[in-house]
Amino acid sequence: MKISVVIPMYNSEATIINTLNSIKNQTALEYIIEILVINDGSTDTSVDKVVNYTEANKQLPIVLINKKNGGVSSARNTGLKLAKGNWIALLDADDEWLPTKTEKQIETIKKHPNIDFLGGDIDDMGLKILWRHIEGLYEANVKDLCLKMFPQTSVAIFKKSIFDQIGGYDEAQRYAEDGNYFLKICSHFNYYHLPGRMVIYGGGKPAFGFSGLSGNLKGMYEGTIKNIKELRQDSMISGKFFVFLRFFYWAKYIRRILLTKLHKRNS
């Protein structure tokens, strides 16, 4: 099992070193054959930091790839195309893996070779799909992901053959692009969740309405609507479920607006 880590990087000077250190500290580092840092046209000192870090850590297989700014999906696709490993592990430039993340996922994949895609948790709350609390290794379906999108990007590891078969991210989609890609994977491959915290997400920031692309609540809402429209067009969900999801997502959108306002008021 050979893992290629794909890190899209744009103006990440404040976080990229911690991200790289979290790979360096993996208890199963020997499975990682390359760390592809895709510089998406950064204008800060991110590139210099990666170059200096690579020089100081020559034992790490870091490959810096520079490209014109094209967005996170374009950067991820660049890494997916160039990856030499038979497994891809995604990691954002402001997230950090916990030390045993890779080890736990590899152990699980070896015990269950039917797994094509494996995720995990970003906190100690565990995964809940509506009223169901997921315990133990769980095979998800498209309906599950429509009700609760998981995992967070930096927990995902999947077979390179998935990219070879269905391609990469929709580079024209700016919001909820991970959900779009993960739904495509779940529609065609064995998509699993392994309970247990594996990532420090964005330095502990809230999962929505705070900063970055996920900070645009309207954009995220419109992106999720695009995703379920595509599912309906491909007959992956029923008409009744599609109508339910339109109301469900609208209610979540309003709730997130209210929660974000409350959070900002109290901070």
Worst-scoring range by mean pLDDT, 71-75, 81-85, 218-222, 261-265? 261-265
The predicted pLDDT at position 12 comes to: 97
Residue 139, strand partner residues:
192
98 located within any domain: yes
207: in domain: no
What's the angle, vertex CA 150, arms to CA 189 and CA 254, rounded to 5? 135
When pLDDT is cut at 50, 70 and 90, the band that residue 260 belongs to is confident
- Regarding whether 238 and 195 lie in a shared domain, the answer is no
Residues 141, 256, single domain; the answer is no
Residue 202 confidence class, pLDDT cut points 50, 70, 90: confident
**Cβ burial, residue 68 (10 Å; 0-12/13-18/19+):** exposed
Task: Answer yes or no: do 38 and 140 share one domain.
Answer: yes
> Is 74 within the bounds of a domain?
yes
Same-domain status, 46 and 156: yes
Query: For residue 128, is pLDDT > 50?
Result: yes
9-23, 51-65, 80-94, 248-262: least confident range: 248-262
Which pLDDT does position 81 carry in this prediction? 98
3-state secondary structure of 176: coil
- Residue 70 is encoded by which pair of tokens? 């094209």
Decide: 179 and 119 in contact? Cβ < 8 Å. no
The pLDDT confidence band at residue 208, using thresholds 50, 70 and 90, is: very low
Mean pLDDT calculated for residue range 146-174: 97
Average of per-residue pLDDT across 122-146: 95
Residue 42 domain boundaries: 3-202
Count of CB atoms within 10 A of residue 47's CB? 18
d(CA 14, CA 33): 25
> Distance between CA atoms of 150 and 156, rounded to whole angstroms?
9
Note whether 114 and 138 are same-domain residues. Answer: yes
Say if 210 falls within a structural domain.
no
Tell me: do 19 and 106 sit in the same domain: yes
- Domain count of the chain? 2
Q: What is the CATH number of the domain that holds 172?
A: 3.90.550.10
pLDDT at 137 over 90: yes
Residue 262 has pLDDT above 90, yes or no: no
| Structural domain ending residue among the three candidates 179, 202, 225 | 202
| Tokens linked to 138 | 């769980």
The rounded distance, in Å, linking the Cα atoms of 90 and 198 is: 13
Q: Which pLDDT does position 203 carry in this prediction? A: 60
- Residue 208: inside a domain, yes or no? no
Q: Residues 172, 236: one domain?
A: no
Q: Tell whether 209 is covered by a domain.
A: no
Strands (DSSP E) found in the chain: 3-9, 32-40, 62-67, 87-90, 96-97, 117-121, 128-129, 132-133, 138-139, 157-159, 191-197, 199-200
